[in-house]
Amino acid sequence: MKEILLLKDGEIVLKGQNRRQFEDILKRNLRHALEDLGRFEITSAQSTIYIRPLSDDVDFDEACDRVSRVFGIVSFSRAAMCEEKTMESVLATAPVYLEKILRGAKTFKVEAKRSDKKFPLRSPDICRETGGLLLSKFPHLRVDVHNPDVTVYVEIRDFGAYIHADPIRGAGGIPVGTGGRAAILISGGIDSPVAAYMMAKRGIKLTAIHFASPPYTSRRAEEKVVRLLEKVSRYAGPIRMYTVPFTKLQEKLRDDCPEELFTIIMRRLMMQISERIAKQRECAALITGESLGQVASQTIGALGCTDEATSMVVFRPLIGMDKQEIINIAYKIDTYETSIEPYEDCCTVFTPRHPRTKPILKFVKRAQEQAGFEPLVEEALQNLKITEINA
Ligand code: ATP
Ligand code: MG
Protein backbone atom coordinates (compact mmCIF):
# COMPACT_ATOMS: atom_id res chain seq x y z
CA MET A 1 0.00 0.00 0.00
CA LYS A 2 1.35 3.43 -0.93
CA GLU A 3 1.76 5.86 1.95
CA ILE A 4 2.02 9.59 1.90
CA LEU A 5 2.41 12.41 4.43
CA LEU A 6 -0.11 15.23 4.56
CA LEU A 7 1.25 18.23 6.44
CA LYS A 8 -0.59 21.20 7.87
CA ASP A 9 1.54 24.29 8.06
CA GLY A 10 1.05 26.65 10.92
CA GLU A 11 1.62 30.33 11.43
CA ILE A 12 2.55 30.57 7.78
CA VAL A 13 -1.12 31.03 7.19
CA LEU A 14 -0.88 34.39 8.89
CA LYS A 15 1.82 35.77 6.68
CA GLY A 16 -0.29 36.96 3.78
CA GLN A 17 1.76 37.85 0.74
CA ASN A 18 4.92 36.31 2.18
CA ARG A 19 3.18 32.99 2.32
CA ARG A 20 4.71 31.74 -0.90
CA GLN A 21 8.24 32.49 0.26
CA PHE A 22 7.58 30.88 3.64
CA GLU A 23 6.26 27.79 2.01
CA ASP A 24 9.25 27.55 -0.32
CA ILE A 25 11.62 27.70 2.64
CA LEU A 26 9.58 25.12 4.52
CA LYS A 27 9.68 22.79 1.53
CA ARG A 28 13.42 23.30 1.22
CA ASN A 29 13.87 22.44 4.92
CA LEU A 30 11.74 19.33 4.51
CA ARG A 31 13.73 18.28 1.47
CA HIS A 32 16.95 18.73 3.41
CA ALA A 33 15.65 16.75 6.39
CA LEU A 34 14.69 13.82 4.17
CA GLU A 35 17.58 14.07 1.70
CA ASP A 36 19.49 10.94 2.66
CA LEU A 37 16.39 8.73 3.03
CA GLY A 38 15.61 8.52 -0.67
CA ARG A 39 13.70 10.56 -3.23
CA PHE A 40 10.49 12.33 -2.33
CA GLU A 41 8.05 14.51 -4.18
CA ILE A 42 7.12 17.52 -2.06
CA THR A 43 4.24 19.64 -3.33
CA SER A 44 1.62 21.92 -1.87
CA ALA A 45 -2.02 22.46 -2.67
CA GLN A 46 -5.18 23.33 -0.80
CA SER A 47 -3.22 24.51 2.29
CA THR A 48 -1.58 21.11 2.64
CA ILE A 49 1.94 19.98 1.88
CA TYR A 50 2.18 16.51 0.36
CA ILE A 51 5.25 14.34 0.79
CA ARG A 52 5.27 11.30 -1.44
CA PRO A 53 8.14 8.82 -1.55
CA LEU A 54 9.23 8.07 -5.09
CA SER A 55 10.67 4.66 -4.33
CA ASP A 56 9.36 1.70 -2.34
CA ASP A 57 12.35 1.17 -0.08
CA VAL A 58 12.03 4.43 1.88
CA ASP A 59 12.17 4.14 5.68
CA PHE A 60 8.83 5.80 6.30
CA ASP A 61 9.05 5.64 10.12
CA GLU A 62 12.29 7.56 9.99
CA ALA A 63 10.81 10.03 7.51
CA CYS A 64 7.92 10.71 9.94
CA ASP A 65 10.38 11.17 12.77
CA ARG A 66 12.37 13.70 10.75
CA VAL A 67 9.27 15.58 9.65
CA SER A 68 8.15 15.82 13.29
CA ARG A 69 11.18 18.01 13.97
CA VAL A 70 10.76 20.46 11.10
CA PHE A 71 9.50 23.83 12.34
CA GLY A 72 6.51 25.37 10.62
CA ILE A 73 4.29 22.31 10.76
CA VAL A 74 1.40 22.20 13.20
CA SER A 75 0.39 18.62 12.54
CA PHE A 76 0.80 15.90 10.00
CA SER A 77 -0.90 12.70 9.03
CA ARG A 78 0.56 9.50 7.74
CA ALA A 79 -2.00 8.38 5.20
CA ALA A 80 -2.72 5.58 2.77
CA MET A 81 -3.24 6.57 -0.81
CA CYS A 82 -6.21 4.72 -2.30
CA GLU A 83 -5.50 3.02 -5.62
CA GLU A 84 -8.32 4.95 -7.26
CA LYS A 85 -10.44 7.89 -6.32
CA THR A 86 -13.59 5.83 -5.90
CA MET A 87 -15.75 4.81 -2.97
CA GLU A 88 -14.89 1.15 -3.65
CA SER A 89 -11.22 1.89 -3.33
CA VAL A 90 -11.82 3.83 -0.08
CA LEU A 91 -13.75 0.89 1.34
CA ALA A 92 -11.04 -1.55 0.28
CA THR A 93 -8.23 0.54 1.75
CA ALA A 94 -9.58 1.76 5.11
CA PRO A 95 -10.01 -1.54 6.98
CA VAL A 96 -6.64 -2.87 5.82
CA TYR A 97 -4.64 0.27 6.47
CA LEU A 98 -6.18 1.04 9.86
CA GLU A 99 -6.56 -2.54 11.07
CA LYS A 100 -4.00 -2.36 13.85
CA ILE A 101 -5.20 0.92 15.32
CA LEU A 102 -8.87 -0.08 15.06
CA ARG A 103 -8.24 -3.39 16.81
CA GLY A 104 -6.72 -1.44 19.69
CA ALA A 105 -9.68 0.95 19.95
CA LYS A 106 -13.16 0.61 21.45
CA THR A 107 -14.87 3.56 19.81
CA PHE A 108 -14.42 5.48 16.57
CA LYS A 109 -16.00 7.92 14.21
CA VAL A 110 -15.44 8.77 10.55
CA GLU A 111 -14.86 12.25 9.20
CA ALA A 112 -14.88 12.93 5.51
CA LYS A 113 -13.32 15.90 3.75
CA ARG A 114 -14.38 16.23 0.20
CA SER A 115 -12.49 19.05 -1.45
CA ASP A 116 -12.96 17.51 -4.89
CA LYS A 117 -16.58 18.45 -5.45
CA LYS A 118 -16.79 16.23 -8.49
CA PHE A 119 -16.65 13.12 -6.31
CA PRO A 120 -20.10 11.49 -6.65
CA LEU A 121 -20.77 10.93 -2.94
CA ARG A 122 -21.18 13.76 -0.46
CA SER A 123 -19.35 13.83 2.87
CA PRO A 124 -22.21 12.42 5.03
CA ASP A 125 -22.57 9.52 2.62
CA ILE A 126 -18.84 8.83 2.62
CA CYS A 127 -18.91 8.76 6.43
CA ARG A 128 -21.94 6.49 6.56
CA GLU A 129 -20.59 3.97 4.07
CA THR A 130 -17.11 3.88 5.58
CA GLY A 131 -18.45 3.67 9.14
CA GLY A 132 -20.84 0.87 8.20
CA LEU A 133 -18.10 -1.15 6.59
CA LEU A 134 -15.72 -0.71 9.53
CA LEU A 135 -18.43 -1.77 11.98
CA SER A 136 -19.02 -4.94 10.00
CA LYS A 137 -15.29 -5.74 9.76
CA PHE A 138 -14.55 -4.89 13.39
CA PRO A 139 -17.65 -5.90 15.37
CA HIS A 140 -16.07 -4.93 18.70
CA LEU A 141 -16.17 -1.25 17.73
CA ARG A 142 -18.84 1.28 18.65
CA VAL A 143 -19.40 4.69 17.12
CA ASP A 144 -18.84 7.64 19.42
CA VAL A 145 -19.09 10.97 17.64
CA HIS A 146 -18.19 13.08 20.69
CA ASN A 147 -15.12 11.43 22.20
CA PRO A 148 -13.92 8.56 20.01
CA ASP A 149 -10.69 6.64 20.64
CA VAL A 150 -9.90 6.95 16.95
CA THR A 151 -11.14 9.26 14.24
CA VAL A 152 -10.91 7.83 10.75
CA TYR A 153 -10.41 10.49 8.12
CA VAL A 154 -11.36 10.01 4.51
CA GLU A 155 -10.04 12.84 2.37
CA ILE A 156 -11.14 13.17 -1.22
CA ARG A 157 -8.74 15.67 -2.75
CA ASP A 158 -7.79 16.77 -6.23
CA PHE A 159 -4.91 14.33 -6.56
CA GLY A 160 -6.43 11.30 -4.88
CA ALA A 161 -8.27 9.76 -1.98
CA TYR A 162 -6.47 9.35 1.33
CA ILE A 163 -7.21 7.45 4.53
CA HIS A 164 -5.66 8.23 7.87
CA ALA A 165 -6.24 8.22 11.61
CA ASP A 166 -5.69 11.13 14.01
CA PRO A 167 -2.94 13.56 12.98
CA ILE A 168 0.42 13.62 14.76
CA ARG A 169 1.55 16.83 16.41
CA GLY A 170 4.24 18.69 14.47
CA ALA A 171 7.14 20.75 15.83
CA GLY A 172 5.16 24.00 15.60
CA GLY A 173 7.00 27.30 15.23
CA ILE A 174 7.95 28.86 11.92
CA PRO A 175 10.36 27.56 9.28
CA VAL A 176 14.06 27.99 10.01
CA GLY A 177 15.49 30.60 7.69
CA THR A 178 12.43 32.84 7.53
CA GLY A 179 13.45 34.85 10.59
CA GLY A 180 17.00 35.89 9.74
CA ARG A 181 20.19 34.70 11.33
CA ALA A 182 21.53 34.94 14.88
CA ALA A 183 24.53 33.64 16.83
CA ILE A 184 24.02 31.37 19.82
CA LEU A 185 26.70 31.49 22.51
CA ILE A 186 26.86 27.83 23.33
CA SER A 187 28.45 26.19 26.36
CA GLY A 188 28.26 22.54 27.27
CA GLY A 189 25.54 23.26 29.82
CA ILE A 190 21.83 22.57 29.90
CA ASP A 191 20.57 26.03 29.06
CA SER A 192 22.20 27.25 25.87
CA PRO A 193 21.18 24.25 23.67
CA VAL A 194 17.59 24.85 24.80
CA ALA A 195 17.91 28.55 23.98
CA ALA A 196 19.22 27.62 20.53
CA TYR A 197 16.27 25.31 19.93
CA MET A 198 13.80 27.97 21.02
CA MET A 199 15.12 30.61 18.65
CA ALA A 200 15.33 28.16 15.75
CA LYS A 201 11.69 27.47 16.44
CA ARG A 202 10.97 31.12 15.76
CA GLY A 203 12.50 30.84 12.32
CA ILE A 204 16.07 31.86 13.15
CA LYS A 205 18.97 30.29 11.29
CA LEU A 206 21.76 29.63 13.78
CA THR A 207 25.47 30.21 13.89
CA ALA A 208 27.16 28.88 17.04
CA ILE A 209 30.02 30.38 19.03
CA HIS A 210 31.87 28.43 21.69
CA PHE A 211 34.64 29.70 23.95
CA ALA A 212 37.25 27.11 24.86
CA SER A 213 40.16 27.51 27.26
CA PRO A 214 42.55 24.63 26.80
CA PRO A 215 44.24 23.18 28.78
CA TYR A 216 41.84 24.33 31.52
CA THR A 217 39.01 22.94 29.41
CA SER A 218 39.52 19.65 27.63
CA ARG A 219 39.16 18.45 24.08
CA ARG A 220 36.29 16.29 25.36
CA ALA A 221 34.42 19.39 26.54
CA GLU A 222 34.54 20.79 23.02
CA GLU A 223 33.41 17.49 21.50
CA LYS A 224 30.49 17.55 23.89
CA VAL A 225 29.41 20.91 22.47
CA VAL A 226 29.62 19.47 18.96
CA ARG A 227 27.37 16.59 20.04
CA LEU A 228 24.90 19.02 21.59
CA LEU A 229 24.80 21.06 18.41
CA GLU A 230 24.19 17.91 16.40
CA LYS A 231 21.09 17.34 18.51
CA VAL A 232 19.97 20.94 18.03
CA SER A 233 20.68 20.70 14.32
CA ARG A 234 18.03 17.97 13.99
CA TYR A 235 15.60 20.85 14.47
CA ALA A 236 17.62 23.84 13.36
CA GLY A 237 19.29 22.47 10.22
CA PRO A 238 22.99 22.91 9.47
CA ILE A 239 24.94 25.08 11.93
CA ARG A 240 28.41 26.54 11.56
CA MET A 241 30.28 26.52 14.86
CA TYR A 242 33.13 28.90 15.68
CA THR A 243 35.42 27.86 18.51
CA VAL A 244 37.16 30.85 20.08
CA PRO A 245 40.52 30.24 21.79
CA PHE A 246 39.83 31.96 25.10
CA THR A 247 42.74 30.85 27.30
CA LYS A 248 44.96 33.92 27.02
CA LEU A 249 42.05 36.26 27.63
CA GLN A 250 41.03 34.37 30.73
CA GLU A 251 44.60 34.29 32.04
CA LYS A 252 44.87 38.02 31.58
CA LEU A 253 41.56 38.43 33.35
CA ARG A 254 42.87 36.41 36.28
CA ASP A 255 46.12 38.35 36.39
CA ASP A 256 44.95 41.91 35.74
CA CYS A 257 41.36 42.33 36.95
CA PRO A 258 39.76 42.40 40.41
CA GLU A 259 38.59 38.93 41.34
CA GLU A 260 34.98 39.85 42.09
CA LEU A 261 34.64 41.19 38.53
CA PHE A 262 36.09 38.15 36.72
CA THR A 263 32.76 36.75 35.68
CA ILE A 264 31.16 39.96 34.52
CA ILE A 265 34.19 41.04 32.48
CA MET A 266 34.45 37.57 31.01
CA ARG A 267 30.82 37.77 29.93
CA ARG A 268 31.43 41.19 28.37
CA LEU A 269 34.43 39.84 26.46
CA MET A 270 32.30 36.96 25.20
CA MET A 271 29.71 39.44 23.95
CA GLN A 272 32.29 41.64 22.24
CA ILE A 273 34.02 38.77 20.50
CA SER A 274 30.71 37.19 19.55
CA GLU A 275 29.49 40.46 18.08
CA ARG A 276 32.51 40.57 15.79
CA ILE A 277 31.94 37.01 14.58
CA ALA A 278 28.20 37.56 14.31
CA LYS A 279 28.57 40.64 12.10
CA GLN A 280 30.95 38.84 9.83
CA ARG A 281 28.35 36.07 9.47
CA GLU A 282 25.56 38.59 8.89
CA CYS A 283 23.83 37.66 12.11
CA ALA A 284 21.41 40.28 13.38
CA ALA A 285 21.38 39.20 17.04
CA LEU A 286 23.13 37.21 19.76
CA ILE A 287 21.42 34.48 21.78
CA THR A 288 22.32 33.26 25.26
CA GLY A 289 20.89 30.71 27.67
CA GLU A 290 20.67 33.13 30.58
CA SER A 291 17.76 32.96 33.00
CA LEU A 292 17.08 35.74 35.46
CA GLY A 293 18.49 35.14 38.93
CA GLN A 294 19.94 31.73 38.15
CA VAL A 295 23.51 32.68 39.10
CA ALA A 296 25.39 35.83 40.11
CA SER A 297 26.04 36.86 36.51
CA GLN A 298 22.35 36.66 35.71
CA THR A 299 20.92 39.33 38.01
CA ILE A 300 19.29 42.35 36.37
CA GLY A 301 22.33 44.44 37.22
CA ALA A 302 24.81 41.92 35.85
CA LEU A 303 22.81 41.39 32.67
CA GLY A 304 22.72 45.17 32.18
CA CYS A 305 26.50 45.31 32.49
CA THR A 306 26.85 42.43 30.04
CA ASP A 307 24.51 44.00 27.50
CA GLU A 308 26.36 47.29 27.55
CA ALA A 309 29.33 45.53 25.95
CA THR A 310 27.49 45.03 22.67
CA SER A 311 25.29 47.14 20.46
CA MET A 312 23.58 44.05 19.13
CA VAL A 313 20.17 42.78 20.15
CA VAL A 314 20.59 39.94 22.65
CA PHE A 315 17.87 37.29 22.73
CA ARG A 316 17.52 35.42 26.03
CA PRO A 317 14.61 33.09 25.41
CA LEU A 318 15.00 31.42 28.84
CA ILE A 319 14.95 34.62 30.84
CA GLY A 320 11.67 33.95 32.63
CA MET A 321 11.91 30.20 32.94
CA ASP A 322 12.57 27.99 35.95
CA LYS A 323 15.36 25.44 35.78
CA GLN A 324 12.86 22.58 35.75
CA GLU A 325 11.02 24.07 32.77
CA ILE A 326 14.31 24.36 30.92
CA ILE A 327 15.21 20.77 31.82
CA ASN A 328 11.87 19.55 30.49
CA ILE A 329 12.67 21.03 27.10
CA ALA A 330 16.20 19.62 27.26
CA TYR A 331 14.66 16.16 27.73
CA LYS A 332 12.31 16.72 24.85
CA ILE A 333 15.07 17.68 22.43
CA ASP A 334 17.33 14.97 23.86
CA THR A 335 20.19 17.23 24.95
CA TYR A 336 19.86 16.68 28.70
CA GLU A 337 21.93 13.52 29.06
CA THR A 338 24.77 15.05 27.07
CA SER A 339 24.60 18.36 28.92
CA ILE A 340 25.09 16.76 32.32
CA GLU A 341 28.29 14.98 31.32
CA PRO A 342 30.87 16.40 33.70
CA TYR A 343 33.35 18.44 31.67
CA GLU A 344 34.74 21.82 32.63
CA ASP A 345 33.41 24.89 30.85
CA CYS A 346 35.50 28.03 30.61
CA CYS A 347 32.96 29.68 32.93
CA THR A 348 34.07 27.37 35.72
CA VAL A 349 37.74 28.26 35.24
CA PHE A 350 38.98 30.91 37.70
CA THR A 351 35.54 31.46 39.21
CA PRO A 352 35.62 34.16 41.85
CA ARG A 353 34.75 33.22 45.42
CA HIS A 354 32.49 36.26 45.79
CA PRO A 355 31.22 37.49 42.42
CA ARG A 356 29.50 40.90 42.35
CA THR A 357 25.77 40.48 41.96
CA LYS A 358 25.32 44.24 41.62
CA PRO A 359 28.31 45.29 39.56
CA ILE A 360 28.71 49.01 38.93
CA LEU A 361 29.17 49.54 35.22
CA LYS A 362 31.66 52.39 35.63
CA PHE A 363 34.04 50.23 37.68
CA VAL A 364 33.60 47.22 35.44
CA LYS A 365 34.44 49.24 32.33
CA ARG A 366 37.40 50.91 33.99
CA ALA A 367 38.84 47.57 35.11
CA GLN A 368 38.36 46.13 31.65
CA GLU A 369 39.97 49.15 29.97
CA GLN A 370 42.93 49.19 32.32
CA ALA A 371 43.67 45.55 31.64
CA GLY A 372 43.62 46.23 27.87
CA PHE A 373 42.24 43.14 26.20
CA GLU A 374 42.15 44.43 22.61
CA PRO A 375 45.31 42.79 21.23
CA LEU A 376 44.27 39.43 22.68
CA VAL A 377 40.74 39.84 21.27
CA GLU A 378 42.23 40.40 17.81
CA GLU A 379 44.51 37.41 18.24
CA ALA A 380 41.58 35.19 19.26
CA LEU A 381 39.60 36.35 16.22
CA GLN A 382 42.56 35.44 14.01
CA ASN A 383 42.56 31.91 15.38
CA LEU A 384 38.94 30.80 15.21
CA LYS A 385 38.27 27.20 14.44
CA ILE A 386 35.30 26.38 12.22
CA THR A 387 33.27 23.16 12.48
CA GLU A 388 30.29 22.50 10.24
CA ILE A 389 27.50 20.73 12.13
CA ASN A 390 24.84 18.74 10.35
CA ALA A 391 22.69 16.17 12.07
P1 ATP B 1 24.45 26.94 30.28
O2 ATP B 1 23.61 25.88 30.93
O3 ATP B 1 24.01 27.29 28.90
O4 ATP B 1 25.91 26.66 30.40
P5 ATP B 1 24.52 28.41 32.66
O6 ATP B 1 23.26 28.39 33.42
O7 ATP B 1 25.61 27.50 33.03
O8 ATP B 1 24.18 28.24 31.13
P9 ATP B 1 26.48 30.51 32.51
O10 ATP B 1 27.55 29.52 32.61
O11 ATP B 1 26.52 31.73 33.37
O12 ATP B 1 25.02 29.91 32.76
O13 ATP B 1 26.38 30.98 31.02
C14 ATP B 1 25.36 31.83 30.60
C15 ATP B 1 25.32 31.82 29.09
O16 ATP B 1 26.56 32.28 28.55
C17 ATP B 1 25.15 30.43 28.52
O18 ATP B 1 23.80 30.04 28.46
C19 ATP B 1 25.73 30.62 27.14
O20 ATP B 1 24.82 31.26 26.28
C21 ATP B 1 26.89 31.56 27.41
N22 ATP B 1 28.13 30.79 27.65
C23 ATP B 1 28.60 30.31 28.81
N24 ATP B 1 29.76 29.64 28.62
C25 ATP B 1 30.03 29.68 27.32
C26 ATP B 1 31.07 29.18 26.48
N27 ATP B 1 32.07 28.46 26.96
N28 ATP B 1 31.01 29.43 25.16
C29 ATP B 1 29.98 30.14 24.64
N30 ATP B 1 28.98 30.64 25.37
C31 ATP B 1 28.99 30.42 26.68
MG1 MG C 1 27.27 26.82 31.97
CATH for 2-169 is: 3.30.2130.30
186 lines ligand 1 (CB under 6 A): yes
- Name the CA dihedral angle for 171, 177, 178, 180, rounded to a multiple of 10 degrees: 130
Q: Whose CA is nearest to atom 11 of ligand 1?
A: 297
247 lines ligand 1 (CB under 6 A): no
Question: Cα 225 vs. chain centroid, distance in angstroms?
Answer: 17
pLDDT at 182: 98
How far lies 173's CA from each of 18, 31, 39, 68, 207, in Å?
Answer: 16, 18, 26, 12, 19
Q: What separation in Å is there between the alpha carbon of 70 and the centre of ligand 2? A: 27
* CB contact burial 273-301 (16+ within 10 A = b; e otherwise): bbbbbbeeeebebbbbbbbeebebbbbeb
> Cα–Cα distance between 267 and 362 in angstroms, integer?
16
> Cα–Cα distance between 135 and 113 in angstroms, integer?
20
pLDDT at 12: 57
Model confidence pLDDT, tens digit, residues 272-321: 999 999 999 999 999 999 999 877 778 999 999 999 999 999 999 999 99
Give CATH 3.30.2130.30 domain extents, the chain. Answer: 2-169
Residue numbers of the chain with a pLDDT score lower than 50: none
How close are the terminal C-alpha atoms of the chain, in Å?
A: 30
Neighbours of 272 (CB within 10 A): 15
pLDDT at 25: 95
Tell me, what DSSP letter sits at residue 44?
E
Model confidence pLDDT, tens digit, residues 65-87: 999 999 999 999 999 999 999 99
Give CATH 3.40.50.620 domain extents, the chain. Answer: 181-389
pTM of the predicted model as reported, rounded to 2 decimal places: 0.94
6 lines ligand 1 (CB under 6 A): no
CATH for 181-389 is: 3.40.50.620
Q: What separation in Å is there between the alpha carbon of 185 and the centre of ligand 1? A: 7
Summary mean pLDDT of the chain: 94
Under DSSP, is residue 383 helix (H, G, I), strand (E, B) or coil?
Answer: coil
Tell me, what DSSP letter sits at residue 82?
P
The DSSP secondary structure of 297-364, one letter per residue, reads GGSHHHHHHHHTT-SSEEE-TTTT--HHHHHHHHHHTT-HHHHTS----GGGTT--SS--SS--HHHH
Q: What separation in Å is there between the alpha carbon of 330 and the centre of ligand 2? A: 14
pLDDT at 296: 76
- Tell me if 25 sits within 8 A of 35, measured CB to CB: no
